[in-house]
Amino acid sequence: MDSEQCRRYQIPMVSTYYPETTFFDNLVMPDGTEQSHGSDILTLLHSGQVFVINSRKRNGLILFKRYHAEFAGPGAAVGGEYDGDCQGALPIGNLSLLTPESYEERQKAYLIRRQWIRLIKQITENPVSAQRVQKILDQFEQYFPLETVASLPDVAFALLVGVLPQTVSMVRRLGSGVDGRFNY
């Protein structure tokens, strides 16, 4: 009888850890369409050449690394050795990449990239996940048209600020009134 009770509570465990795969194959956009993760842009980023995101346009790139994402906005350097580990890229706006013409332009672009990284770091320092999501959404909505931000997938924001995509979805649905009621 004791052995029957033990068997009744034994639950088979199934592993969902896939160390050899990436975190996405295609991004599923909010409208349900799938988008490849920027293979043409990725080829450029892996070419070893450094590019600068055109600072005269409202555009940028979300760069997907193995376990997180980074945002490179206008004026930021992308490519070269810095993004050799990039596994995907999502252009925002009408992406325009320029080639820096001088050493000084390249250095300025790297400094601007660091500023974008610091902005995201400040957002991620908030211990409440819903507040991190709301802050990143607010930042993007200040710079890009609302339709553009609404078209970006939840996973992109989730990887930028270290939350689950479900948290982004919930904050998008419920707005800023979510505050700290959940912490994913």
What pLDDT, in 10s, does the model give residues 160-183? 999 999 999 999 999 765 555 554
Q: Phi and psi dihedrals of 150, rounded to 5? A: -65, -25
Judged by DSSP in three states, 35 sits in strand
The DSSP output letter for 65 is -
Residue 41 has pLDDT above 50, yes or no: yes
DSSP 141-159: HHHS-HHHHHHS-HHHHHH
pTM here?
A: 0.76
